[in-house]
Amino acid sequence: MKIALNFVGILMVITLNAAAQNKADTTRYNSLGEVFTAAIKHNPTQAVYRLQIKQAQYNYKASKGFMYPSASASFNGTDNLHLAVTPIPGILIGQPGTTFYAQFGKKYTYNTGVTLGQDIVDWQSIFQAEIANSTVKLNEAQQDAYVQSLKEQVAKVYFSILVAKSSLKLSKLDSIYADSLQALARQRLKQGVTDAIAVNQAAINYNNVLQGKAQSQQLFDQGIENLKILLGQAPNSELRLSEDVEMDVFGDDATALGADKLIDVYLQQVKIADVQRKAQLATAYPKLSATAFFGGQEFRDKFGFSFDNNALTGYRYIGINLSVPLFTGLTNLNKYRSAEVQKQIAETQYNNAVMQSAINDRLLLKNASNYADAVKASGASFRLYSDNLRLNKQKYDEGILTMDAYLRVFQDYLAAENTYLNNLSLLLATRATLLSRQ
């Protein structure tokens, strides 16, 4: 008995831990704003954009390295396998009329020291740094554009889930009506007051309700899984949305349309193309730099190296280098012309994007207004069809209305419900775009 109690206790602990784990894996969102915040924070692609911006910032810092002097330490040794011979007139050594072939230098030569360099005027490096800085801004603009796109995707999936929830709720009531109609039709068939056609039609209506319910459940499940992907949630996690969408709740909602973040991406590409054009033009500018070497030399007849200060002879110099490109075979000229064309391409793409965005925005606002009117009208009609269904049921129960007429009323009710939900889906898809632009 004691062993059995212990086993039950262990089983209860395991069950409670599993329940606690399942509860911890369930995330509930009470509004679309909460979902936006979670998506921006946890979306996997957002993490990639943040890393790309960080990488571009490091590249920009690296491009500014030309502003600082460079220093390097070096050591090299040379084994002069055969020293060069220099002919010397013999008169210099007291042997007029002869030529003496002398060798100067040592067999082994060592050089060591520190080399310093500094670019004084380098326009190409200046423009390359500016390009790197513009690339950081481009990555930031691309991230902002993706956030706008992400919010639109999240809002569309979010609203599709809410519509599916509403459809599933309506399907429960529809199933009760359809099942009741099917039972009544069979009962009336037994009583001989209706025919098999009415029974079949009632069964068809019932099957249509079940089919619509299954489709709504599929849309709901698909929306939940897609939203989990956008939110960066684990596959085995659970997601719950507390909000519901009610009829006409969005009918009078006027959402302002903000700026299209994608336009900023095209604008930044134009700026980068202009800087690249200037950088290519700078290849024709002179470059001024300075260099210095501080070190020593050691010469030996035998292999080896001494660290004695007396063995090293000083070797130091400071130099200025001015480089002026004169002719490069028209390569730089053609590259500059190519950069000019690239800027024109970027400007054309920007102008086209601005024009298309303006047209799409006008259409979006018109659609939002039209869909809102359609939702109001179809919602009102759906309520009227619902009232007609209730009133006709009373007439049918009193024997005033035939089975065929009652079935047609129910079919009209289902069609009105479908029309309303479709219009609501279109309206909410438009609202999703509007909300992403805030």
Domain boundaries, the chain: 32-68+122-286+328-436, 71-118+288-323
Q: Which contacts (CB < 8 Å, 24+ apart) does range 422-427 have? A: 423/371, 423/374, 423/375, 423/378, 424/163, 424/166, 424/245, 424/250, 424/375, 424/378, 424/379, 425/159, 425/160, 425/163, 426/367, 426/371, 426/374, 427/250, 427/368, 427/371, 427/372, 427/374, 427/375
Q: pTM higher than 0.85 for the full model?
A: no
**Given the structure tokens 């000019």, which residue do they identify?**
340
- Banded pLDDT at 88 (limits 50, 70, 90): confident
The least confident of 85-89, 143-147, 306-310, 393-397 is 306-310
The pLDDT tens digits for 239-287 are 999 988 865 555 445 557 889 999 999 999 999 999 999 999 998 999 9
| CB neighbour list of residue 418: distance below 8 Å, 6 or more residues apart | 212
**Which CATH number does 32-68+122-286+328-436 carry?**
1.20.1600.10
The pLDDT tens digits for 119-160 are 999 999 999 999 999 999 999 999 999 999 999 999 999 999
Task: Give the Cα separation of 219 and 160 in Å (integer).
Answer: 8
φ, ψ at 314 (rounded to 5°) = -65, 140
**Given the structure tokens 């069950």, which residue do they identify?**
15
Three-class SS state of 324: coil
- Banded pLDDT at 19 (limits 50, 70, 90): very low
User: 298 has which bridge partners?
Assistant: 110
